[in-house]
Structure 1
Amino acid sequence: MNDIIVKTEPTLPALPTTFLPAITELTQSLGIPREMLASAEEIEYAWRDLPREIREIPEALRGELVARMCVAVSAGLFDGAMNYIWNAAVLHLRSKIRVFGLPVVAQIRQKDFEEKHLLELQDSQLLELCLKLNIIDEDGYFFLDQSRGVRNNFSAAHPTLGKVNDREFSTFLNRCVRYALADSSSPKGVDIGAFISAVKGPRFNDNQCSIWIQRLIETHDSQRQMLVIMVHGVYCDPNTPEQARLNSLDICNGLLESLNAAMRSELINNHSEYVAKGYEEKHAASLQFFEKLGLLHLLNESEQHVIFSRAVERLWNVHNGMNNFYNEPAFAERLLELSLQSAAPETVLEEYVQTIGCCRVGNGYGFSNAAASYYDQMVKNFSPREIATLIQSATSKENPLGKRLSFGGSYRSNFKELLGLIDPGSVPNIVRAQYLHLSN
């Protein structure tokens, strides 16, 4: 159960009645116009808005820099307050990168990345790295980068181009809080080298597999996508041992709910590259990868045709071979699994329906009892088009199913049982008369 985070809004003290007049006295004593500093009204409005913004900052992050920001606001020094809150945001983003893992960042950047490199990053480079690591999203990068420009030109960090008023400061503060400080969670990066070594190593045990799946779930989408694509590549490599392939499937099975549209699209792109480059072994393995994960519906119809056609052909060959009653169940089960993932393509629909019908009505010796439940399930799931194809095939002596039924006897009684599995409401009108005739 997730802990409920209660945000507490701090109660700031009221500005002393002597404080604002003191600012006026100070400017007079220095002989400068009062307008050179923030007006009393601007200070009061900025001070009034502070608690709402500070409420969004986790208490653990309300440290020295936030306190200094508040003091600066109370004196109308918005340029100094901007610098303090910006520095707090930068320090927090650096902390998130440390949590992510400096060695993992080095792997992603493909060059050394240690503490000194993190500290040497300019603010613009820091924001770019946070975007790449998905620590901030594109909206966050856009607004924080704008704030970086405001901070460089209008804060006390550098000679300023002008002054900011209370509303401009409040906007700056809101962006630093919303896109950098409000989120105290930090995704943890996955050590790419260790992960790939584990996948390519001995067969996972349950605990080991769960740990790696959890690590991938806890990291950000971009790295998860990259690692899933790498695992797909491992599976499709002809030189990959079977244990590594099984490890790859275990990982991806555990991440199925986390595979967003971008990840699925990238998998399809990888698969299409194998086709485009003529990598037949990798392409065949990739088809198997999609099938094993129940993702056949992502493939185009021509590739679904190949998979269905092969499964139907193998079942038909086994049905007509020796010991078919014992050999059929495994092939029937595989065809059922395929049909549950995706509807049979139009190009193989007739072959698919007739094969199931023939196997279920059996041969002269009966049918495979062990495979019957698989056939029955497929027939129950028949679409109206498949139902029409089944009935039309049964009434034509020019195809295997019609020929068998012409012999009568057990063929017809088994087929009548088969028709009993079909909901009458699903029978198309075009074959309803034939359906009623065969049922009776």
Structure 2
Amino acid sequence: METLILPSRFENIEKVDSLSKDWDLVKLAIRPDCRDEKSIEKAQKAIEVGLNDAAINYIWNLAIYDLYRKIISYGIEYFSSAINWEGKKLNTIEDLREVKDYQIISGTFSLGIIPHEAHFFLEQCREIRNNFSTAHFPMGELDKIETFNFIKNCIKYVLTYDLPAPGLQIKELIENLSSEKLEKGEEICAIIENQSSKIHGPILHNLFSNYIKPDCNAILKYNVKLIAPSLWNIVSEDVKSSIAVKFASLREVKGKDGANEALSFLKLVNGVSYIPESYKEVIFKKHAQFLIDAHYEWNNFYNEPNFAKELDALGYEIPIASLNTYLKAVLLSYLGNCYGVSKDAQEYNEKMLLNLTQTGIRGLFRLIDQNVDIVRILSSPGPVNRIKSLMDLIKEKTMLPEQQKIFDFITKSSSRDIQKYFEEKYWKLAKL
């Protein structure tokens, strides 16, 4: 694993023996422009009177707000695309309050705003905050060491870092592509490809959105036609699927013209195969996302069953464009988290898993082997035991050799060996 490069100010945190006595050192580890935030003062007072659950909530809220600032600095248009945001358009820092914390963490990680190590520990902090802070009725009390580690991680992975430099500005890119026809697309494609892979998807999303507008600049449209096929080849399957889903949404919401332009774009990039049958993917993906959102909420064990039931009621002919989201939702709910699993949701999860086709089984193993969120969960003992149960559930399914290899490893290895395997795999995936 690569060594995390921290600002020199963070060294102050290593000198802290007591949060209540050495709070000035804690503040010195934080970026200067954040040190006077009221949340820091409130956290100090909470610690002095033993209210650790309140202290971590103040620090968490400040860390999340600082991630908002970093998103604005980097480019909020990238963030919207990175999380496939379907709500009200995100323009300002206030708009980001509508975004869930897990999406803030996921989006900033996807864009490279926070490092791979931060993704793991901030997710851990989010779960602690949801279950042990004053934000919700706590599961228990936090001791001094746990409180210190929580605060240290929020500072280490967010509050000590400066705001990021702006990414390749989409606004400027669109303006340049609208001003003059390109003779060849190779040069601009090379510039985009040499950017972080984290922003390839947001750039293509934005070009697609401009392309389908009824008043799209003719020069821009010409240039998009020139470069879009190359960009399509470098983005992920999730990006391709999400653009196909927007085609269906346009058909239902904005009418034939928008849908026709979207279809034109998909033909241009050889992406017609991603168009869903009868637009079912919109429904499947929406219900699957509901289950994913429920899973990440603090009271997920209570909320998941109803969403799992609704997803199961849609049947088992899953459109290919929705399959990844569908499988991720079912797998997250089935595996649970380090605190347990939603037992009442398992009846529906098991039915959905038992009815997977060969394509579904391939996608399931791909998530287990390659999805950073699933792999992270499988670095905890409880989910590891449940992945063994999952293998028993699908043991009669037809598997390809590489899938059989994963199956054999999970069924024949000890829980500790499986956990260690996924711990190591997580760090490898997080750095990609």
Is TM more than 0.5 here? no
Higher RCO structure (Cα 8 Å, ≥6 apart): 2
State the TM-score bracket (shorter-chain normalisation): 0.3 to 0.5
The higher radius of gyration belongs to 1
Structure 2 length-normalised TM: 0.39
Structure 1 length-normalised TM: 0.38
